[in-house]
Amino acid sequence: MTTTSAAISTPAGFAPAYAVGYSGANGLLALVSDAAPLPVATSAPAPLALSGEAAASETVGPFAATAGRVIVISLDGAWDGTVQLLRSTDGGTTKIPLRVGGTVWAQYTEPGCEQAWTETEEGVSFYLDIALNSGTVAYRLSQ
């Protein structure tokens, strides 16, 4: 941090000084300086989108999500069936359907686009479980 000298004029003889600080590793005040900058999180680049078409039932993925970003799902085409977003924390060995308040979440039966999930954990991957009766679905997962 660069310090500059400034003249203090009479009659006060003093000038209030302000400093920016944050809660340090030990829980005490840590002043911001060149050696100890304000801790901020930077956003990692978005992963490549998972996109394609399916004309038969299959599970596609993985989509390696970045924590702290919204996952957007886009479905298009003329198709009959269901497409469900699945979450995995073990590299795809176990794929679990999403739920909110115990209710099925992120399961689709028609074309559309929406923000489906906000991931908060690092190292999580997502898959699409596509169960088609007929037609072709175009899919895209992105952040």
Report pTM.
Answer: 0.72
Radius of gyration of the chain (CA): 25
Domain boundaries, the chain: 50-142
Q: From the DSSP assignment, how many helices (H) and strands (E) are in the chain?
A: 0, 13
What pLDDT is stored for residue 42 in this prediction? Answer: 67
Residue 44 scores a pLDDT above 80: no
CATH assignment, 50-142: 2.60.120
Residue with the larger pLDDT of the pair 38 and 53: 53
pLDDT tens, residue by residue, 61-79: 999 999 989 999 999 999 9
